[in-house]
Structure 1
């Protein structure tokens, strides 16, 4: 009876995760693109659901929720399903939709899709040769063989994203890299803006007075009669017209200056909001896992928006599902080492005889390379776009 209750809890949570992935990601983030294939939407949502379930099981391990045998069963089933999706289903459908976009191969798309999948499996299998990740005694399609190779790819992606995020986040939010904005700076800029607006109003009054004077003298609406009348009218109205033209040019210049001052004032206010948001954000350390997942999904979404089109959208969504699944599987490998020994027994039994220390060393190396490369990239970008000096 307890197994049925535990299974109902897990199935309910997976349905909720699936629904969240389906409604939010497919109906909100990808609604502007032609992701009309239901199989793509289902694969993405299922991958998201089982990825979140692994984190749920980690929490259950720590809190001792569910029976130990139930947790072991759902760990095993969850890993089998996610590996089936990442190694067999997603690569096949990626090849299928790539072939479907090529007219010459359209009739034989199933055959060429199988050939692409076999090519993927060859390189996926050869990926494990250079790394000391597994004992050779395990079978070809065992969980250990598959998860060891998925782990290499996923840990590499995690390290690359973490290295860039560790550099980019302080660069974006820390006050050291922001403009030093004080209340006096804002007040001075607002004073300049008000003075500019007063000058604009004053000059527009002068223009109105000049037009009124010209109208009273009959220099505006009186049409010239004959050649000599035309010459006389133009000669009489020339000084007023020149004054109006000069004043209008000055007004146009002042209005452009006022727009620039307004935008700069708004930028100073926004910069000073950023300063306080940094201190507030440090209070929210407790939601680091949630923000990590959110950051990954936002990065993937930006990547999707940047390169997606009507023909490639299905392939891009499947690639995002592949990256997301590998990312979460690798997170389990790394989180396991940070858990106390009594909480990781079942996880170790399910994952098998993997070289867990290798993944941590590999993560450190890739993280260091990614962070140093990001520092160099942001340094060059910062030098190419120097800070705009404050207007006196």
Structure 2
């Protein structure tokens, strides 16, 4: 009993230490990346974001622990239950309620903020629960209030997000890396656009100076009118003359402001075009370096992967096919059969799966954090309340993304570990999630191809003149 207690305590310390490390990483990412340009942070939002990040990473960690046989089986089972339960409570209860509170806090009086927040959360729960109606994602034997009911619905949203990001990434990676898609930008293109932008800014400054001078002249006339003491006939004459000059100044100010507005819009577009041109020029210069050549080769491999993945997704959808053997075991079997390599398939598949899951975990976390940082910077503004709401929504997406990653990662491990994940996640219709991923991935990839093709053609036309 003492030995069991010591092992149990040691396992608990390992899990607690990793959760603290993940929490600190999420806290630093929130401070240094998402809100690095903000002096005031909402500590509650930061805590919720970091907590979601910690539990999300712990799911990947527990999969690796299952494969590497780290910690006692009973301890791993308890950790799975603990982490899954808390991340689901965070995603379904804590984040939606606090997001609702932030939304209504600036709109209604203080005494009705909490009831209205709870009301909005109940609306969220209703639509969240209705997600499960059209999809055959759960065995009918489960009751209403079970963890499988929540995981199944979170999985649908998360798998959709994963498929959209994966479809776009599979197409965008070759587009970004391959020199074939690099536009022929030269220094004189940048210089021409800089001259246009400088000329536009000079016009804006000139017209704004005129507006300021006319406004000052108009104010001087108004002040002189109030201070001057004259006879009735002098006031009558001055009134007509000042009205004429005042109306002329007002019309000139209005005309100048009407001219300034489109010029400012033009300047914004020219600035964005200039930034894009500089990025293209840097990309052309980078493609000539050793790393640029390496990424170009990598882009060709990504292109092959993109074509293969789109083809496989199409085949899976048409023939209602789901892989029965994980990719690692399948690859080893092909190597043993066709190349005559004497390998212990079950032995090596375990360790290669361990490495593969680790790579998937690291790249998934890194890719999602980079995407979130770019997205947050592009849509956030100086309004702290709106930025806090966006940060909470990103935490919601992040948690659902990682829960669904665990669902889909089940197919990337050998059969014995699939059984363990099935026992942990419950009796879900796992094949449904893989088919759903293939459908959304195919739609996202094809849409991304069309979208990037249009962007590339429209962007290339500016260099043909």
TM interval, short-chain normalised: 0.7 to 0.9
* Matching of residues 183-332 of structure 1 within 5 Å: 268-273=284-289, 275-278=292-295, 287=359, 289-308=361-380, 309-332=383-406
Q: Could you tell me how far 1:268 is from its partner in structure 2?
A: 4.1
For 1:320 and 1:68, the matched residues in 2 are separated by: 33
- Indicate if the aligned counterparts of 1:99 and 1:113 stay in contact, CA closer than 8 A: yes
Q: Deviations over 1:19-54 (max 9, x none)?
A: 111123224431323662211111100100010011
Equivalent residue of 2:288, what SS?
A: helix
* Matching of residues 1-392 of structure 1 within 5 Å: 1-33=6-38, 36-102=41-107, 104-178=108-182, 268-273=284-289, 275-278=292-295, 287=359, 289-308=361-380, 309-386=383-460
Q: Could you tell me how far 1:180 is from its partner in structure 2?
A: 8.0
Using structure 1 for the length normalisation, give the TM-score: 0.74
| Cα 1:34–1:159 shift into 2, 3 Å | farther
Q: Which has the larger radius of gyration?
A: 1
Q: Could you tell me how far 1:350 is from its partner in structure 2?
A: 1.5
For 1:18 and 1:145, the matched residues in 2 are separated by: 27
- Indicate if the aligned counterparts of 2:177 and 2:296 stay in contact, CA closer than 8 A: no
- Indicate if the aligned counterparts of 2:178 and 2:297 stay in contact, CA closer than 8 A: no
- Indicate if the aligned counterparts of 2:287 and 2:296 stay in contact, CA closer than 8 A: no
Q: Deviations over 1:77-109 (max 9, x none)?
A: 11001001001110101101001121x344311
Q: 2:313 maps to what in 1?
A: none
| Cα 1:281–1:34 shift into 2, 3 Å | farther
- Indicate if the aligned counterparts of 2:30 and 2:46 stay in contact, CA closer than 8 A: no
For 1:265 and 1:329, the matched residues in 2 are separated by: 40
Count of residues paired in the alignment: 313
| Cα 1:378–1:35 shift into 2, 3 Å | farther
For 1:34 and 1:129, the matched residues in 2 are separated by: 45
Q: Could you tell me how far 1:337 is from its partner in structure 2?
A: 1.8
- Indicate if the aligned counterparts of 1:35 and 1:313 stay in contact, CA closer than 8 A: no
Equivalent residue of 1:344, what SS?
A: helix
Q: Deviations over 1:228-256 (max 9, x none)?
A: xxxxxxxxxxxxxxxxxxxxxxxxxxxxx
- Indicate if the aligned counterparts of 1:54 and 1:332 stay in contact, CA closer than 8 A: yes
For 2:11 and 2:80, the matched residues in 1 are separated by: 12
For 1:359 and 1:160, the matched residues in 2 are separated by: 14
4+ residue segments displaced more than 6 Å: 263-267
Q: Could you tell me how far 1:275 is from its partner in structure 2?
A: 3.1
For 1:7 and 1:130, the matched residues in 2 are separated by: 40
Of 298-307 and 125-134, deviating more is: 298-307
Q: Deviations over 1:283-313 (max 9, x none)?
A: 9x97454233222112112221222232201
The root-mean-square deviation of aligned C-alpha atoms, in Å, is 2.8
| Cα 1:128–1:105 shift into 2, 3 Å | farther
Q: Could you tell me how far 1:265 is from its partner in structure 2?
A: 7.9
| Cα 1:122–1:299 shift into 2, 3 Å | same
- Indicate if the aligned counterparts of 2:148 and 2:427 stay in contact, CA closer than 8 A: yes
For 1:329 and 1:266, the matched residues in 2 are separated by: 38
| Cα 1:266–1:2 shift into 2, 3 Å | closer
Of 302-311 and 322-331, deviating more is: 302-311
Of 359-368 and 269-278, deviating more is: 269-278
Give unpaired runs (5+ residues) of structure 1: 191-262
For 1:340 and 1:306, the matched residues in 2 are separated by: 41
Equivalent residue of 2:21, what SS?
A: helix
Q: Could you tell me how far 1:266 is from its partner in structure 2?
A: 6.3
Q: 1:226 maps to what in 2?
A: none
For 1:16 and 1:134, the matched residues in 2 are separated by: 34
Equivalent residue of 1:108, what SS?
A: helix
Using structure 2 for the length normalisation, give the TM-score: 0.62
Give unpaired runs (5+ residues) of structure 2: 1-5, 189-277, 302-354
For 2:74 and 2:360, the matched residues in 1 are separated by: 30
